[in-house]
């Protein structure tokens, strides 16, 4: 048994629906072009709500305002032979990451003129739930569809279900 501490990667995702279609991004990944909800890693010094606003803006060039928490999800991703060699390893090892995703639904504005999409984002697109289900082989994660299905099922929790303590906003200690 490993003595390393378990540290899941925390991500935030925006679940945006308008007129029966959901906003997704098509992004470049090591596995090729994949579909995802506008999502990304939580940065130091920000709350999950701030993180999802930032990520949605970076990936869609649109302002996002969270209105509810859809859910909190845990998933694992293993990419064979991806992690770089270490002095102790003779060949590449698998990348093994567990993600903790915090998904919010909300309202989104119009695209901001002149604002570029984040590096790696090819385009944004609006898809029906059936189109999302039919494209599951291209999803970045199984959580893409799960978050949409939970939104369709009416799962909504108050935003204050997540509390960010003021200590999060204190600058990092330099070591």
Query: pLDDT tens for residues 137-158?
Result: 999 999 999 999 999 999 999 9
Assess whether pLDDT exceeds 90 at residue 95.
Answer: no
**What does the pLDDT read at residue 79?**
79
CA 136/CA 106 separation, integer angstroms: 23
Whole-model pTM: value is 0.88
Distance between terminal CA atoms of the chain? 29
How is the chain split into domains, by residue range? Answer: 9-109+116-159
Band the pLDDT of 92: cuts 50, 70, 90: low
Could you give the maximum distance between any two Cα atoms of the chain, in Å?
Answer: 54
Assess whether pLDDT exceeds 80 at residue 110.
Answer: yes
Residue 85: partners with Cβ closer than 8 Å, 6 or more residues away: 91, 92, 93
**What does the pLDDT read at residue 1?**
62
Count helices and strands (H / E) in the chain: 3, 8
Average pLDDT over every residue of 117-126: 97
**What does the pLDDT read at residue 68?**
98
CATH class of the region 9-109+116-159: alpha beta
Instruction: Report how far apart, in Å, the C-alpha atoms of 55 and of each of 11, 51, 80, 173 are.
Output: 10, 6, 27, 25
CA 80 to chain centre: 21
Q: Which residue has better confidence, 55 or 5? A: 55
DSSP 139: B
């Amino acid at each position: 048994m490993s003595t390393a501490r378990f540290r899941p990667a925390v991500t935030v995702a925006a679940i945006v629906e308008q007129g029966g279609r959901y906003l997704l991004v098509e992004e470049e990944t090591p596995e090729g072009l994949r579909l995802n909800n506008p999502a990304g890693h939580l940065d130091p010094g920000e709350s999950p709500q701030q993180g999802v606003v930032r990520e949605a803006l970076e990936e869609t060039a649109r302002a996002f305002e969270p209105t509810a928490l859809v859910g909190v999800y845990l998933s694992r991703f293993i990419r064979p032979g991806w992690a770089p060699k270490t002095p102790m390893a003779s060949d590449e090892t698998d990348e093994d990451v567990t993600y903790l995703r915090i998904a919010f639904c909300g309202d989104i504005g119009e695209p901001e003129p002149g604002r570029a999409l984040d590096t790696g984002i090819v385009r944004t697109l609006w898809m029906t739930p059936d189109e999302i289900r039919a494209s599951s082989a291209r999803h970045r994660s199984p959580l893409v569809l799960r978050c949409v299905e939970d939104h369709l099922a009416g799962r909504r929790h108050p935003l204050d279900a997540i509390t960010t303590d003021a200590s999060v906003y204190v600058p990092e200690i330099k070591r």
